């Protein structure tokens, strides 16, 4: 398909969003290969996914640093080649033109939602986009305390239009704006976002496809590969301890005990689903500033084998977290755009392979998640292709 689509990133000037933007422009120009992109594997060559060059980039953020300046910073830290950033200077400046300041000063929160939705709608209209996918890649925020408005549409509307009340956290304001703008949505962070029941119902009522939550890029990815192995071999896991070291903006954000709480919960939820709630699973995240954007994860697994024999497994995972995550963001944009074109709506459970805590699914084993995603993508591609053929046939008549 040749229709242009939009990727609207919440936190558009952060490390992950900037890496995603660099990657999309490099792929569009053919100066990078799609390593790490599931949707670019030969198995899906016949699926009518959006070509990289057809994806426009914009977004919201609360900081004023330009994407180009951020990109040079990432290059200085070793994440991306400096020559690549220099080569893409004009493209990065063009994407920067479509980044707007997230609204948080409206008289009411509905005013903020209206302003952000208007930004997304203008992006789609002025660039002639057929579909926009909003992806929240912003910093993790503390989870809000549950309240009745999160479950009651009438009560939420009342709170949103009351001056001075701030019922929704920023991530959920952005999610509400995506719904209002008619955009598909992916929650790549453990922040509240569209996880609130009232917002998920809004999205379903508006026939919007969405997926989440919290991108599965490193330690949790490895856990959901290894844990099923223990279960399949009948080995009894006794404990599974984990430690994460990271610096950069994420390290500083997650040094806040309240902000890290949601991240720890989403990381351990899948593990317990795979090995049982009785398994001891201590997990902590430490801010180590000199690591910059490199993330190091250690796991130590104790298990019991035949005749009570002890088994120990230790793993170390180290990588630039943003370069692990950026291909997933691009995959999600392409997949959710396809879902929109196929007329699908609500939580797309088959995208669970991209998330630690998938909405609409209790499947956590990565191999099974991947199988479900592959089958869904092929089916959805057939639906879209049939729609396009029908439209062409109708136009020809």
The domain spans of the chain are 5-215+323-390, 219-319
Separation of alpha carbons 161 and 159, rounded Å: 5
C-alpha distance from residue 161 to each of 24, 105, 145 (Å): 38, 14, 20
Sheet holding 99-101, edge to edge: 99-101, 55-61, 5-10, 131-136, 184-187, 209-212, 346-347
Q: Which fold has domain 219-319?
A: Dihydrodipicolinate Reductase; domain 2 (3.30.360)
Give the pLDDT confidence score for residue 290 in this predicted structure: 87
Separation of alpha carbons 269 and 358, rounded Å: 10
The torsion angle over the Cα atoms of residues 248, 250, 251 and 252, rounded to 10 degrees, is 90
The torsion angle over the Cα atoms of residues 364, 197, 351 and 322, rounded to 10 degrees, is -90
Separation of alpha carbons 96 and 241, rounded Å: 41
pTM attached to this predicted model:
0.93
The pLDDT tens digits along the chain (397 residues) read 448 999 999 999 999 999 999 999 999 999 999 999 999 999 999 999 999 999 999 999 999 899 999 999 999 999 999 999 999 999 999 999 999 999 999 999 999 999 999 999 999 999 999 999 999 999 999 999 999 999 999 999 999 999 999 999 999 999 999 999 999 999 999 999 999 999 999 999 999 999 999 999 999 999 999 999 999 999 999 999 999 998 877 767 766 777 677 767 777 788 888 999 999 999 988 889 888 889 999 999 999 999 999 999 999 999 999 999 999 999 999 999 999 999 999 999 999 999 999 999 999 999 999 999 999 999 999 999 988 777 767 666 6
Contact 314, 299 (CB under 8 A): yes
Separation of alpha carbons 193 and 14, rounded Å: 17
Give the pLDDT confidence score for residue 253 in this predicted structure: 73
Q: Which CATH superfamily is domain 5-215+323-390 in?
A: NAD(P)-binding Rossmann-like Domain (3.40.50.720)
Give the pLDDT confidence score for residue 1 in this predicted structure: 42
């Amino acid at each position: 398909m040749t229709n242009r689509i939009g990727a609207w990133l919440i936190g558009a000037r952060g490390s992950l969003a900037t890496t995603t933007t660099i990657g999309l422009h490099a792929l569009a120009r053919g100066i990078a290969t799609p390593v790490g992109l599931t949707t670019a594997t030969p198995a899906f060559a016949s699926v009518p996914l959006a070509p990289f060059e057809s994806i426009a980039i914009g977004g919201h953020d609360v900081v004023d640093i330009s994407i180009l300046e951020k990109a040079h910073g990432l290059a200085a830290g070793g994440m991306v080649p400096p020559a690549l950033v220099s080569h893409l200077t004009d493209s990065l400046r063009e994407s920067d033109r479509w980044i707007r300041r997230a609204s948080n000063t409206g008289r009411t929160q509905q005013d903020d939602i209206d302003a952000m939705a208007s930004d997304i709608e203008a992006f789609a209209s002025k660039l002639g986009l057929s579909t926009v996918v909003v992806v929240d890649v912003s910093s993790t925020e503390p989870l809000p305390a549950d309240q009745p408005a999160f479950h009651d549409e009438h009560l939420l509307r009342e709170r949103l239009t009351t001056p001075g009340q701030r019922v929704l956290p920023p991530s959920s304001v952005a999610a509400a704006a995506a719904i209002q703008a008619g955009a598909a949505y992916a929650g790549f962070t453990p922040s509240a976002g569209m996880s609130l029941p009232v917002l998920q119902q809004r999205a379903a009522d508006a026939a919007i496809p969405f997926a989440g939550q919290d991108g599965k890029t490193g330690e949790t990815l490895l856990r959901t590969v290894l844990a099923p192995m223990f279960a399949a071999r009948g080995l009894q896991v006794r404990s599974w301890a984990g430690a994460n070291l990271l610096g950069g903006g994420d390290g500083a954000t997650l040094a806040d005990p309240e902000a890290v709480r949601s991240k720890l919960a989403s990381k351990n939820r899948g593990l317990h689903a795979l090995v049982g709630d009785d398994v001891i699973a201590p997990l902590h995240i430490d801010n180590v500033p000199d690591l910059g954007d490199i993330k190091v994860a250690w796991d130590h697994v104790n298990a019991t084998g035949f005749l009570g024999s002890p088994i120990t497994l230790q793993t170390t995972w180290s990588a630039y977290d943003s370069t692990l995550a950026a291909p997933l963001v691009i995959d999600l944009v392409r997949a959710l755009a396809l879902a929109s074109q196929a007329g699908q709506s609500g939580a797309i459970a088959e995208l669970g392979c991209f998330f630690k805590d998938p909405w609409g699914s209790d499947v956590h084993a990565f191999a099974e998640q991947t199988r479900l995603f592959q089958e869904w993508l092929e089916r959805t591609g057939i639906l879209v292709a049939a729609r396009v053929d029908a439209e062409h046939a109708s136009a020809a008549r």
